[in-house]
Amino acid sequence: MSGGSLLAWRTMHGVSRLLPIVLVLLTWQAASMTGWLPASWLPPLTAVAMALGGLVVSGELATNTIASLSRAGAGFGVAVVIGVTLGILMARIRFVQLAVEPILVMIYPVPKPALIPLFMIWLGIGNFSKITVIALACLLPIVVATFNGARSVDAMLLWSAQARGTSERNLLWRVILPAALPQIATGVRTAIAIAIIVLVSSEFISSDSGLGYLIFSYGGVGADDAMLAVVLYLALLGYAFDRLYVNALRRVMAWHAFAH
């Protein structure tokens, strides 16, 4: 494929990805305009967009985005570091697996936002308890993915390295970790979405800043269009992060055939 047509193909591909989203938004607007969808049920898209514009102009959106993203980023970062380490340890050391796996399996289905009140008692109502609960929620998919990835490294790949004189330590860094990377990357992708979900939940419960706080406070005073504007913004933010992440992966892991 020539450079020009490849670019055209990629642009087309990008547009076709957005098409379903555009269709949903258009249907929403059409339903509002024809009167099928009363504004008391759902404000028209145009009203939500206007409210979003207002939030951008006032600077409210930017300030609260920064507050939110620093919380989510901190929790997510901690989860990546601990999650990958723990997952590898579980896969390599039988005792660690036996000790940790039952606890993880038990914690996994617990809705993490339900633990927020408890964390607030232990850690205070500030950022620390929010970051902790985000980290915990993000940790699980990363640990599980890393564990599965590191455990399922083909024995022959390890043998192949050992026959080339690789030490135990280098085996970990040079073989097991890269071999597990595609699975780790998938766990991290799940964690990105979870970070946003738990972030907003934690800001609902107690906060004076952040996007969750905005949703909660506008919802509380019946400003449905502004509330929905923040929800829509969060959806777009999540989508943008996911695309950025996947594109970065494609670049960094050019050796791997990605399905998405």
Partner 1 sequence: MRYGDGSNAVVALESINLAVAEREFVTIVGPSGCGKSTLLYLVGGFLRPSSGEILLQGRPITAPGRDRGVVFQRYSLFPWLTVAGNIAFGLEEQRMPKAQRERVVDEHIRLVHLDGFRDRYPRELSGGMQQRVALAQTLACNPQMLLMDEPFGALDAQTRRILQDEVRRIWLRDTKTVLFVTHDVEEAVALGTRIVVMAARPGRIKEIIDRDFDVADGEEFDANPAFVELKLRIWRSVKAEVEATRA
Residues making contact with partner 1 (CB under 8 A): 154-157, 159-167, 170, 174-175, 178-179, 181, 253-257
Least CB distance to partner 1 at residue 162 (A):
4
Q: How far is the CB of 178 from partner 1 (least distance, A)?
A: 5
Handedness of CA 43, 49, 55, 61 (dihedral sign): positive
Nearer to partner 1, 1 or 221 (CB): 1
Question: Least separation, in Å, of the C-beta of 141 and partner 1?
Answer: 22
For 66-87, letters b (16+ CB in 10 Å) and e give: ebbbebbebbbebbbebbbebb
Among 109, 133, 105, 106, smallest CA distance to 119 is for 133
Output 70 or 162, the one with its CB closest to partner 1: 162
Residue 179 CB, nearest approach to partner 1 (Å):
8
Smallest separation (angstroms) from partner 1 to the CB of 172: 13
Closer CB to partner 1, 57 or 257, in the complex:
257
CB of 9 to partner 1, least distance (A): 19
Report how far residue 121's alpha carbon sits from residue 111's, in angstroms, rounded to the nearest whole number.
18
In this complex, which beta carbon is closest to partner 1, that of residue 25 or of residue 246? 246
Nearer to partner 1 (CB atom), residue 243 or residue 256: 256
How distant, in Å, are the alpha carbons of 22, 34, 45 from that of 39?
Answer: 20, 11, 10
**CA 39 to chain centroid:** 31
> Please, what is the minimum distance in Å from the beta carbon of residue 154 to partner 1?
5
Question: Is the separation of the CB atoms in 153 and 234 below 8 Å?
Answer: no
Site of tokens 């449905």: 224
Q: How many residues does the chain have?
A: 260
**CB neighbours of 158 closer than 8 A, spacing ≥ 6?**
171, 175, 176
| Nearer of residues 167 and 247 to partner 1, judged by Cβ | 167
For residues 83 and 187, the answer to whether their CB atoms sit within 8 Å is yes
Nearer to partner 1, 73 or 178 (CB): 178
